[in-house]
């Protein structure tokens, strides 16, 4: 069992919404001194400083407003479940962030692209992008698409499909990164096919399968992931969280280590950094309750032996 150390709740200094906190953190990327957090029930990106406890702020990703009531909000939200840092390129000299919808409904196939500057801060305004070519390529591959994480490994981008109690099918879908970015830039006109799919069995807790919630790439190709055992039969409805876990996969999708997390928190976002024989983790949570702030935790696991 891995012990989590709470750093702080993700409070906001000001907010365009009714609450002064981020409540449903679902993806995390750390760039230099900045923490970027997507929430699955927002039209915004949360921006926080890595050190200190100053409240963060929101950056708008999509136009419009979401209903305040959770059932209505759930129907209309873009369901941003993954956030990935894109490497520097001709188009993004200092890299960029890409937020991705889960694809679990037709209105959840959008994403947002945000350029970074040399200090890791956001540069300019966000650009809404159409991810339908990617999700069209996944139709028929899974019973129900539900992308919860994304990482860049070499010249590939890999998407993490989350299973559920009824269809416990975790998988990693591999795409060529250049082809993926071309498809994203086409505003829905291009087509793309996966390079391949890696099935991953994470086991279960009290009859509930552990299923992916996020991932972060390490140098050398290993991937750290988070997973939860959520007692639900589909990709839409929430359920009780029986357990959370963190683990390590090699670049071929083979499980190298899996650790239960203490505290009963539903962990949905991870940033991972190597420190010798250790892996330092930052983790964010989703309590499935808009009144409860998402929290930032610290944990450390041993790097699996080669």
Query: Which tens digit of pLDDT belongs to each residue from 162-177?
Result: 988 777 789 999 999 9
Confidence of residue 16 (pLDDT cuts 50, 70, 90): low
Res 259 pLDDT > 90: yes
Residue 168: per-residue pLDDT = 76
Residue pair 254/274 in contact by the 8 Å Cβ criterion: no
Percentages helix, strand, coil for the chain, rounded to the nearest 5? 10, 50, 40
Res 188 pLDDT > 80: no
Structural domains of the chain, count: 1
- Percent of the chain beyond pLDDT 70? 97
Res 233 pLDDT > 70: no
Mean pLDDT of 294-299: 98
pLDDT, tens only, 76-106 = 999 999 999 999 999 999 999 999 999 999 9
Residue 236: per-residue pLDDT = 58
| Angstrom distance (rounded) from CA 294 to CA 7 | 11
pTM of the model: 0.95
Confidence of residue 17 (pLDDT cuts 50, 70, 90): low
- Percent of the chain beyond pLDDT 90? 80
Res 237 pLDDT > 70: no
Residue 187: per-residue pLDDT = 79
**Residue 68: burial class (beta carbons within 10 Å; 0-12, 13-18, 19+):** exposed
Residue 169: per-residue pLDDT = 85
Res 178 pLDDT > 80: yes
Q: Domain of 247?
A: 5-302
Which domain CATH number covers 165? 2.120.10
Res 235 pLDDT > 60: no
The DSSP result for the chain, as a single string, is -BPPEEEEE-BBSS-SSSSSB--BEEEEEEETTEEEEEETT-SEEEEEESSS---BEEEE-SSS---SSHHHHHHH---EEEEEEEPP-SS-TT-EEEEEE--SSGGG-EEEEEEE-TTS-EEEEEEEEE-HHHHHHHBTTBSS--EEEEEEETTEEEEEE---SSS--EEEEEEEHHHHHHHHHTTT------SEEEEE---EETTEE-EEEEEEE-TTS-EEEEEEEE--SSSSS---EEEEEEEEE-TTS-EEEEEEESTT--EEEEEEEEETTEEEEEEEEB-S-TTS--EEEEEEEEPPP-
Res 303 pLDDT > 80: yes
Confidence of residue 279 (pLDDT cuts 50, 70, 90): very high
């Amino acid at each position: 069992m891995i012990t989590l150390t709470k750093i702080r709740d993700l409070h906001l200094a000001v907010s365009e919404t009714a609450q002064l906190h981020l409540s449903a953190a679902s993806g995390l990327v750390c760039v230099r001194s900045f923490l970027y957090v997507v929430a699955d029930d927002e039209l915004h990106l949360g921006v926080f400083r890595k050190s200190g406890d100053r409240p963060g702020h929101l950056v708008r990703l999509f136009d419009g407003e979401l209903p305040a009531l959770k059932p209505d909000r759930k129907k209309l939200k873009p369901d941003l479940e993954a956030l990935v840092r894109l490497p520097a390129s001709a188009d993004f000299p200092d890299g960029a962030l890409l937020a991705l919808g889960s694809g679990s409904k037709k209105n959840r196939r959008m994403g947002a692209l945000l350029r970074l500057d040399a200090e890791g801060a956001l540069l300019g305004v966000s650009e809404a992008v159409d991810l339908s070519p990617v999700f069209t390529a996944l139709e028929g591959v899974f019973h129900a698409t539900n992308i919860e994480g994304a990482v860049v490994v070499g010249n590939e981008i890999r998407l993490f499909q989350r299973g559920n109690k009824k269809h416990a099918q975790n998988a990693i879908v591999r795409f060529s990164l250049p082809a993926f970015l071309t498809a994203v830039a086409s505003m829905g006109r291009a087509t793309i096919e996966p390079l391949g799919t890696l099935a991953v069995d994470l086991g279960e807790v009290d009859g509930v399968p552990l299923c992916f919630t996020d991932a972060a790439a390490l140098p050398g190709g290993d991937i750290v992931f988070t997973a939860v055992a959520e007692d639900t039969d589909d990709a839409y409805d929430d359920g009780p969280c029986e357990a959370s876990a963190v683990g390590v996969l090699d670049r071929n999708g083979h499980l190298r280590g899996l650790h239960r997390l203490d505290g009963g928190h539903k962990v949905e976002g991870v940033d991972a950094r190597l420190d010798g024989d250790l892996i330092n983790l930052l983790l964010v949570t989703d309590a499935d309750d808009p009144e409860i702030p998402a929290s930032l935790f610290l944990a450390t696991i041993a790097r699996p032996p080669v």
